[in-house]
Chains A and B, each alone.
Chain A
Amino acid sequence: MKKILILLGFICFSSKALEVVVSDDQGNAIKGAAVWLTGAKWQATGEQKTKVYSMGQKDRAFVPHTLVVPSGTLVDFPNFDSILHHVYSFSKAKSFELKLYRDKPLAPVSFTQPGVVELGCNIHDWMLGYILVVNSGVYGVSDEQGKVQLALDSSQLGNAQLNVWHERYENLDSPESQLLTITHVSQVVNYQIQQTLLDKLEFLTDDTDEYE
């Protein structure tokens, strides 16, 4: 009985979110897909735009691996490792470079142009991360079950464009999208990625890879 109550509570609590479940063309849950809604009702709030987002480097990896930010926001790049990282991007949406020490943080970088920013490190060339700059205030990244919860309120019902992006797309600069009618705030949407994803690249690195 108690369990049922907790479950009911959870359903009530989570009912203010649109749940998108991302799967591949075989129907397998896809982790790490960036999902966002575009349209007049789903723009970033002032609070979202003034927040400084963070793309860290920890144990020679970008943390988080994929970061979604509304366009026009600032992102800082804290280095949690004791060694230097030389973070750069050649992407059209933003090209920049930063030499980062843990105790010498640099000023945040402004991301104004929507698009995919692919991050690398010129010292540890296996490091890879993504910043998705989106014209939206409703976004998320899918979990192990391929699920993303997009918080909505009742004023945000209507026709939206659902955008889905994954790092294993052949063309990183073109997210998939589809029109979506949101009829209630606890709607569940299954999204099957239309293209065949590239092979997973699971690099296995540790501190013994330092001497390159």
Chain B
Amino acid sequence: MIQMNMSRVLAISVATLLSQLTQAQEITGKFHGLVEITATNTSEDRSWLRQGWGVARFDADSDVFNVSRAALTGRMDFSSAWSAHAVAQYVPDPDHKLGFTEAYMHYQPLAQGYQFSSKIGGFYPRMSLENPAFGWSSPYTFNYSGLNAWLGEEVRTFGAEFELKRAARRFRSKHDVSVIGALFKGNDPAGTLLAWRGFVPHDRQSVFNERIAFARVKSLYTPQLRFQGQYVDPFSEVDGRFGYYIGAHWSYLKRHNLRVYWYDNNGDPSAVNYNTKQYAWDTKFWSLAWRSKVSAQTQFITQAMYGNTAMGPRRGVDNDFYSWYVMLSHTFNDYRISGRVEQSKVMDKDIWAFDPNASFTQGITLNVRKTLSETWQVGAEFQFIDYEAESRPMAYLPLDLNEQVWRVSAQYQF
């Protein structure tokens, strides 16, 4: 009897709620923007974005003072559960690029217990714990770690992601747990930059349909690699196959966060588009990210990635790679100080000696920023990059390249 009453009460309350939810709802929307102005030293070595061998984003052809990024995010709510999201961005390098970095529909109905949600469109997989700020930027450093810089330039989901979450609060628990799965297309050439450039810490995110250049590596003039362009269209579809990733998030009282992902673009390495000169790369990797708030002021963040990428009918280019960083960040008053060390390596596994892909990147990044108001933030950053690539001696360049990048930036958010 009591159970019947309970279920009746539940039915009535669900019905009441449903009737409220189905009432015609006003469509609301909101835009936010960010403009980042930078003063930086520029590198003697031409940036990869201008087909150069340098590993700093801004080279001698860049302005010492520039708008290093402008971004506009929009959110439109159509109903209780459905919203549309888009992030548009401008970057000056190499030639005033404007485009979308994300555009997707989000479905998240109100739930009392387990929370189901889904994204459909083009968006970032949520592997990183370094990029929670505006338009996937980092609140810690201006230049992202090499690991996340690579995700930002060559990895994007064009498809659907599904998440099932057991949110701690709703279960009066200390643990948040969620599982994530996604199916996507159009991320076939991911891995190209790792083979012919390697990991580089920077903050230049690619926009949809963008073509990214890299240095004129000698091996691309050989018959075996004549169908590969000296650029990458990272988000293009080559083999017609679906890729996927699966992941899990866990958090303890929001003090400790863990994210584990397995990504596989399921590329067919023998597939090539002769018009765009792009191969499908068979790229797969693990990503493991950990963040601990040591206190309300101090955070420790680390992330590691390990995987393999290959192209060509006989996997003529076949590379293993890893990348990791460790970061400490501390806030006091209106200041945030962050320091990061990182190391990345691409290991050439194939027998094509004419195409050396091995590279090794190490970096130290120190950043201090001050929040002046809700709209203004200023900061300074020093970055030391120690880079070596086996492809450099083939072009009569020294194996090693060291870069010291100074950067002062001001951000205005509205």
Residues of A within 8 A of B (CB): 82, 84, 86, 88, 90, 92, 95-97, 99, 101, 104, 120, 122, 125-128, 198-199, 201-212
Tell me whether B240 is interfacial, beta carbon within 8 Å: no
> CB within 8 Å of A: which of B1-53?
9, 13, 16-17, 20-21, 28, 30, 32
Give the chain A neighbours of B115 by CB distance below 8 A: 125
Specify which chain B residues have a CB less than 8 angstroms from the CB of A208 in the assembled complex: 132-133, 139, 299
Please tell me which stretch of B161-169, B268-276, B349-357, B403-411 contacts chain A, meaning at least 4 of its Cβ atoms lie within 8 angstroms of it. Answer: B161-169
Residues on B with beta carbons closer than 8 Å to the beta carbon of A95: 13, 16-17, 20
Query: Beyond A126-B167, A207-B139, A211-B131: 10 further Cβ-contacts under 8 Å?
Result: A86-B110, A90-B13, A96-B20, A99-B80, A125-B165, A125-B167, A201-B253, A203-B169, A209-B254, A211-B126
Specify which of B20, B30, B170, B253 is in contact with A97 (CB 8 Å cutoff).
Answer: B20
**Contact A88–B110 (Cβ < 8 Å):** yes
Chain B CB within 10 Å — which of A92, A199, A208, A212 has the most? Answer: A208
Q: Are B168 and A201 in contact (CB under 8 A)?
A: yes
Q: What chain A residues lie within 8 Å of B16 (beta carbons)?
A: 95
Q: Is B314 an interface residue (CB 8 A)?
A: no
Is A90 a contact of B112 with CB atoms below 8 Å?
yes
Interchain residue pairs with CB less than 8 A apart (21): A86-B80, A90-B13, A90-B17, A92-B9, A97-B20, A97-B80, A97-B110, A99-B28, A99-B77, A125-B165, A125-B169, A126-B167, A127-B169, A202-B253, A204-B296, A205-B254, A209-B132, A210-B133, A211-B126, A211-B133, A212-B126
Interface flag for B374 (CB, 8 Å)? yes
A185–B299 Cα distance when bound, in Å, is 50
* CB contact list, B247-261 vs A, under 8 A: 253-255
**A199 proximity list for chain B (CB < 8 A):** 174
Chain A residues contacting B9 (CB-CB under 8 Å) are: 92
Pairs A-B, 8 closest by C-beta atoms: A211-B132, A125-B167, A95-B17, A203-B254, A204-B255, A205-B254, A128-B169, A90-B112
CB of B227 to closest CB in A, whole Å: 39
Chain B neighbourhood of A201, CB < 8 A: 168-169, 172-174, 253
Complex CA distance for A104 and B32, rounded to whole angstroms: 15
Instruction: Take A95-B13, A95-B16, A203-B254 as given contacts and tell me if A210 and B132 are in contact as well, using a CB distance cutoff of 8 Å.
Output: yes
Interface contact B296-A206, CB-CB below 8 Å: yes
Contacts of B28 in A (CB 8 A): 99, 101, 104
Contact between A126 and B174, CB atoms less than 8 A apart: no
Give the shortest distance, in Å, between B249 (CB) and chain A (any CB).
9
Q: Are B30 and A84 in contact (CB under 8 A)?
A: yes
CB-CB under 8 A from A86, the residues of chain B are 80, 110
- Name the interface residues of B314-365: CB closer than 8 Å to any CB of A: none
List the B side residues contacting A212 at CB < 8 Å.
Answer: 126
Is B370 part of the binding interface, using a Cβ–Cβ cutoff of 8 Å?
no
Instruction: Tell me if B108 counts as interface (CB < 8 A to partner A).
Output: yes
Residues on the A chain within 8 Å of B110, using CB: 86, 88, 90, 97, 122
B293 in the interface (beta carbon within 8 A): yes
- Shortest A36–chain B CB gap in Å is 24
Q: Could you tell me the distance between the alpha carbons of A99 and B108 in the complex, rounded to whole angstroms?
A: 13
CB-CB under 8 A from A104, the residues of chain B are: 28
Interchain CA distance A212-B293 in the complex, whole Å: 16
Nearest-CB distance from B218 to chain A (Å)? 41
| Alpha-carbon separation in the docked complex, A61 to B17 (Å) | 24
**Smallest distance from the beta carbon of A109 to chain B beta carbons, Å?**
11
Q: Which of B13, B75, B254, B299 contacts A126 (CB 8 A)?
A: B254
Q: A58 vs B38: C-alpha distance in the bound complex, in angstroms?
A: 31
CA A168 – CA B17 in complex, angstroms? 26
Return the CB mask of B50-76 against A: 1 if under 8 Å, else 0: 000000000000000000000000010
Q: Which residues of A contact B133 (CB under 8 A)?
A: 208, 210-211
CB nearest to A172 among chain B residues: B172
Q: What sequence of 0s and 1s flags, for each residue 104-144 of chain B, a beta carbon within 8 Å of any chain A beta carbon?
A: 00001010100100000000001000011100100100000
Given contacts A95-B20, A97-B80, A211-B126, contact A204 B170 (CB under 8 A): no
CA distance A209 to B169 in the complex (A): 15
B108 engages A122 (CB within 8 Å): yes
**When chains A and B are docked, how far (Å) is the Cα of A168 from the Cα of B401?**
59
* Chain B neighbourhood of A210, CB < 8 A: 132-133
How distant is A184 from chain B, measured CB to nearest CB, in Å?
40
How far is it, in angstroms, between the C-alpha of A120 and the C-alpha of B108 when the chains are bound?
Answer: 14
Chain B contacts for A203, CB-based, 8 A = 168-169, 253-255
**Chain B CB within 10 A, most for which of A90, A205, A210, A211:** A211
Q: Report the bound CA distance from A136 to B108 in whole Å.
A: 38
B104 CB → nearest A CB, Å: 14
| B residues less than 8 Å from A127 (CB atoms) | 169
Name which residue of chain A comes closest to B18, CB basis. Answer: A95
Enumerate chain B residues within 8 angstroms of A88, measured Cβ to Cβ. Answer: 110
Residues of A with C-beta under 8 A to B139: 207-208
Shortest Cβ distance from A125 into B: residue: B167
Q: Are B131 and A120 in contact (CB under 8 A)?
A: no
Closest chain A CB from B34 CB (angstroms): 12
Chain B residue at minimum C-beta to C-beta distance from A92: B13
A122 to B116, CA, bound (A): 11
Q: Judging by beta carbons under 8 Å apart, are A120 and B170 in contact?
A: yes
